[in-house]
């Protein structure tokens, strides 16, 4: 099924926005940490055995990459697609897993999540930008363990501010892409709260170890509570956007 034109236009704008928080920011940590998360993965026992990097994708992003021939940049890779049903809707859970050494993307065609790292926007349902927070669960684990951040980006060049605002405005312009970004934040928050509770009960243990154990045992999330919050978020989008949300949702979830 062809990619809806409004989604294609959104990704064209996203992939044309070369946001770089600081010049040569990948050199600040000394090992291009954001391209492999080597320092974080070194704290795991089992999960670190696989050198592959998994990048989450927004709905339609994989089709956009393939249409442009940019899937080839990932070298030996696997596209992983799953669904999760919430309130009668089937959510798309998609990612690309690459075993390309170090940077799995070429800079100019890097994925949306790579363009945003190390921040994820905090949006309201209306699309209003309310702030930012660390993008990945790994940064939350660092905080719980009281560790200095592996990513050394701590400021935004003034020249990049308009690019960040343009990128967030583009993401907020499509209600389904906006929903998935907000759903990601909800899920990450649930995971962080779960590890924080385990850390409070066993402060001598590393948050990374607690996360790995819970993840591998499928005990990281209270799926019932998470699904309830996601259902409430879906309802809020349906009310605010009305038929536009339904039409956009159906176009991306045939």
User: What is the average pLDDT score of the chain?
Assistant: 94
- Has residue 226 got a pLDDT over 90? yes
Per residue in 111-147, pLDDT tens?
Answer: 999 999 999 999 999 999 999 999 999 999 999 999 9
Contact status, residue 178 vs residue 7, Cβ threshold 8 Å:
no
pLDDT on residue 52:
86
Enumerate the domain spans of the chain. 5-252
Rounded to whole angstroms, the Cα distance separating 114 from 191 reads 21
pTM score, whole prediction: 0.95
Per residue in 62-74, pLDDT tens?
Answer: 999 999 999 999 9
Rounded to whole angstroms, the Cα distance separating 151 from 132 reads 16
Per residue in 78-91, pLDDT tens?
Answer: 999 999 999 999 99
Extract the tokens encoding 98: 């690459």
Q: What is the mean pLDDT of residues 197-206?
A: 98
First to last CA, the chain: 8
pLDDT on residue 35:
79
- Kindly indicate the confidence band of residue 153, based on its pLDDT and cuts at 50, 70 and 90: confident
Rounded to whole angstroms, the Cα distance separating 167 from 13 reads 8
């Amino acid at each position: 099924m062809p990619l809806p034109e409004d989604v294609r236009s959104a990704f064209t704008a996203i992939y044309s926005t070369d946001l770089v928080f600081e010049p040569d920011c990948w050199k600040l940590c000394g090992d291009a940490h954001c391209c492999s998360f080597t320092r974080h993965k070194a704290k795991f026992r089992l999960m670190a055995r696989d050198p592959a990097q998994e990048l989450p994708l927004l709905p339609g992003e994989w089709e956009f990459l393939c249409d442009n021939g940019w899937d080839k940049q990932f070298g030996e890779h696997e596209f992983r697609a799953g669904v999760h049903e919430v309130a009668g809707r089937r959510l798309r859970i998609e990612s690309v897993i690459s075993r390309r050494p170090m940077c799995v993307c070429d800079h100019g065609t890097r994925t949306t999540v790579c363009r945003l790292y190390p921040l994820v926007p905090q949006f309201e349902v209306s699309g209003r930008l309310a702030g930012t927070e660390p993008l990945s669960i790994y940064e939350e684990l660092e905080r719980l363990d009281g560790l200095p951040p592996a990513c050394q980006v701590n400021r935004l060049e003034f020249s990049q501010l308009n690019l960040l605002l343009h990128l967030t405005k583009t993401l907020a312009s499509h209600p389904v892409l906006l929903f998935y970004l907000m759903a990601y934040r909800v899920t990450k928050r649930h995971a962080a709260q779960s590890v924080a509770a385990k850390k409070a009960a066993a402060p001598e243990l590393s948050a990374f170890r607690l996360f790995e154990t819970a993840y591998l045992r499928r005990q990281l999330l209270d799926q019932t509570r998470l699904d309830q919050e996601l259902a409430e978020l879906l309802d809020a989008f349906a009310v605010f956007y009305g038929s536009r949300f339904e039409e956009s949702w159906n176009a991306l979830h045939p």
